[in-house]
Structure formats: structure tokens, C-alpha cells
Amino acid sequence: MAIASGMFRTKSVEQSIRDTDDPDSKLRKDLTARDLTIFGVAVVIGAGIFTLTARTAGTVAGPSVSLAFVFAAIACGLTALCYAEFASTVPVAGSAYTYAYATFGEVIAWIIGWDLILEFALAVSVVAKGWSQYLGEVLGSGAPVLTLGSIHFDWGAVLIIAVVGTLLATGTKLSSKVSAVAVAIKLGVIALVLVVGATYFKPSNLTPYIPPSEPSEHAEGLRQSLFAWLTGSGGTSFGWYGLLAAASLVFFAFVGFDVVATTAEETRNPQRDVPRGLFGSLAIVTVLYVAVSLVLTGMVSYKELQGGDATLATAFALHGATWTKNIISIGALAGLSTVVMVMYLGQTRVLFAMARDGLLPRGLAHTGSKGTPVRLTVIVGVVCAVLAGFVDFGTLEEMVNIGTLVAFVMVSIGVPILRRTRPDLKRGFRVPWVPVVPILGALACLWLMLNLSIETWLRFVIWMALGMIVYFAYGRRHSVLRKQQEAAAHEPAQV
């Protein structure tokens, strides 16, 4: 019982805030609502807007892909409300990890932190490899890969990780300025695509908006979704089922907006600016996704996008506008640069919070004169560079999705729990209609998780089991909160 009670000890919000004043692990407060909005747009608008939209329209939803983006945005919006309340109440680095520590206890916080480590590390590495591919297209020289016998080294992916790591180590404010420039470039490219695409727009291509359902061949065995396995159902594309399935697919175009909450400790006025950054970025990217999907499906019939390898450039090529390919590649290159940067930032901040709590080596939480965790930034860069440089990820990309959704579910559930256990806390933002909104947010994320493959679920369980071994071998014994509570318990005996 003593072990169990220790595992679920909670760290008070007051203690979390006091820890931010430690001179050795103090982050610099430089960011504004504008900076956070830029970070949000930077991480969400990547190459997906140029590829995922066309692929989903052609194989799953047809013209209704634009409505699928709206459904996905609603699910994200419900979760964003919960993140905003937590970030304005506990303006501390670590995001979902820190919130779980205050509501569910240490072991659940560790599980969420371990989960986020997986999410961010894979996201940085996978996106860096995507960046490298687009770099090859822009240079016209093919993928920037060196081959030594059976070993393939993706030097383009390592290059972007090294550049981003240097910027983040220099300072978060500088990273924000660089992100702003890259965001401006990719928004300019998207605007050009919309204007040119509108000249080929035919309303008749949007009819029927929700095409009639058709039988679809789904993966079998471990590659089938957990939902398909549980229900024993076949599958259909298009129709209402296809629309709902498309919402699950395009949801992952929004993955990463929660990184805004990880910067709360570095924000000048987190109670006001974090909610603005979350909702502002989510609103901007939703409008862009819907606009691009409407223009795309209005340019050509969704049937011309079938085959699984269609992109936004495909629609322009069908009209003879092949010149847009290079412009789209430049937009994707700028987009992926900022995704790598913000995901990298999120990884370091989660690890920083865990190290400051003693669940990982405390020395990793050292910030130094620049007010950034330089040691952690270097370590994360080296690990991600090795992964991106030498590993072919394949289906491992889905691990990013399941990691994100687990965090979303826990944050949603945590809001009504903290309302009940700490009603006295000052909340800069309050989720309306609690507990209805948090419950809806959690259910929406659980539904999306059911659409992930059994293979992904099994890998996730293995990663979590490894995390529990690390916790009991190191984290539990070195927990700062545990040491503080044990010291307090012995004080009366020493008097």
C-alpha cells in the first residue's frame, strides 16, 4: 500500500510554480500571444496540407474532406479548451506531464511524460526525413542520402536537426523570429495556390459532396484498425462512414498544436496569452485546411485523385500547370522546417520538466546564462539526428498519433478532476460546461485512437512497459517530491 500511495502522490500547483524560480533551472520569459500563435501555425501547417488533403479526398471522403477537417478541428477545439485552462492555471513547462502530476499523481505523470517523449522524438525524426526529401526536389538532385554499402545516411535530415537545435539552444525568442519568417513563406505559397487553383474551380466537381459508399479493401491481421478488429466489420470508402474515417485521418494534420502549452513557463502573461495562442493558431489552420480542400476538390473530380499517391500538385498537373510543383515544394520545405523546430522545442521542455522533478537526472534541467536547457537540447538533437539519419520508420509514424491522443485524453479528464480537488485555484481561463466539454473531448480522442492499427497499439504497449521499468529503476527512487515528503515526515521525530 505504501508503494501504491507513493506512486500516486500529487505535486501541488503551488510547488510546481515555485520550482520555476530555481536559478539553476529557470527559463527566460520572452514569448507573447503572437509568438505562441506563430508556433502553433508553424507546427500544424506542414507538408500534410499539400499531400494528406488530396490523398484523403481521392480514397476516403471525396469532396466532403473539407467537412472532415471541420469535424477534426472540433475534436481539437474541445481538447484545446482543456489545455487552455490547465496552461493558465499551471503555467509551467511540461504541458500534459505537468498537468497529470497535479491531478492524477506521479506514476500517471510519468506515463504521460514517457508517452510524450515517444511522440516528440519520432515526430522530429520523421518530419526531418520528409524535409530532406523536399530538399532533394528543390535542388533537383534526388534525396540527399549517402550510401555506404548497406548503410544509408540521410544527411539532409541531420542538417535540419542541427540547424534547429542551434537556434533553440541560442534562445526561444530567436526561434520564434525564425519561425515567423518560415510561416510567412509557407502562407504565401498557400495563398498563391488558392488564388491560382480558384481559376480552375468548377462547382460541379463538388457534386455529390458526400459520394455514395463503396466497398474498400482494408489491411488484415495486425495492420487492421482496432475498431475493425473489435467489430469484425469490413470497410467502406466514401459515404458517411468514409467521412467519419476521413476525420480520423485528417485529425493528424492538427497534431502538434498542444506544443503551444509546453511554452507556458516562457510566456510573459501565460494566463492571457496561452489561450489566445492555442485558439488563434487552431482557427487559422482550420480555415486554411478547409479552403485548400475546397479548392482542390473543386479543381478536379475526386475520382482523378484516386490511387493513394495524389498530391495537391497532381490537381495542377491535370490542368497543365506543372510549374506549381516547385512552388509547392518550397512551401513544404518551409512548412516542415518549422514543424521540426516546434516539435524539437516540445521534446526538450517535457524532458526538462521531468528532470527538474528528479524523474530523470536533475543535471539535465540546468539552463545556464541563456535561459534555455542547452544540455537537453544537444542530447535530443543527437538522438533525433541518429534516428533520422539511419532509421527507415515506415509504419512507426503512427506512434506519433497514439502518443498525442493519449495525452489529449488525460488532459481532458484532468480538468473536472482538478476543478473538484482544487476549486480555489486562480484560473486565467475556464472551460465552459464542465464536465460535458471535457468528456466530449476525451470521447472524440478515444474514437480516433480506435482507428489506429493493432500493430501500433502493440508497439505502444511495449514502449509503456519499458517506461515503467525505467520509472521503478530510477524515477521513483530519485523523485524530488518523494524526498521532500519523506523529509517532512521525519521532521517531527527530529524535534
Domains of the chain: 2-483 (1.20.1740.10)
Give the integer Cα–Cα distance in Å for 334 and 324: 15
Instruction: State the pLDDT at residue 1.
Output: 45
Helices (H), 171-238: 172-198, 226-231
Q: Could you tell me the pTM of the whole model? A: 0.85
- The string of DSSP letters for 337-352 reads HHHHHHHHHHHHHHHH
Instruction: State the pLDDT at residue 300.
Output: 92
Residue located via cell numbers 497499439: 457
Instruction: State the pLDDT at residue 378.
Output: 93
Q: How confident is the chain (495 residues) per 10-residue block, as mean pLDDT?
A: 64 86 79 86 79 85 92 90 89 86 92 90 88 82 78 91 89 74 87 91 92 70 75 70 80 77 83 89 92 93 82 84 81 86 88 93 83 88 92 72 87 93 89 94 89 86 95 94 84 54
Query: How far, CA to CA in Å, does 166 sit from each of 30, 162, 163, 184, 381?
Result: 18, 6, 5, 21, 9
Burial 400-415 (b: 16+ CB within 10 A, else e): bbbbbbbbbbbbbbbb
Instruction: State the pLDDT at residue 492.
Output: 61
Q: Is 104 helix (H, G, I), strand (E, B) or coil?
A: coil
Instruction: State the pLDDT at residue 495.
Output: 44
Grid coordinates of 78: 474541445
What radius of gyration, in Å, describes the C-alpha atoms of the chain?
23
Q: In Å, how far from its chain's centre is CA 326?
A: 27
- Indicate the helix (H) or strand (E) that contains 487: helix 480-494
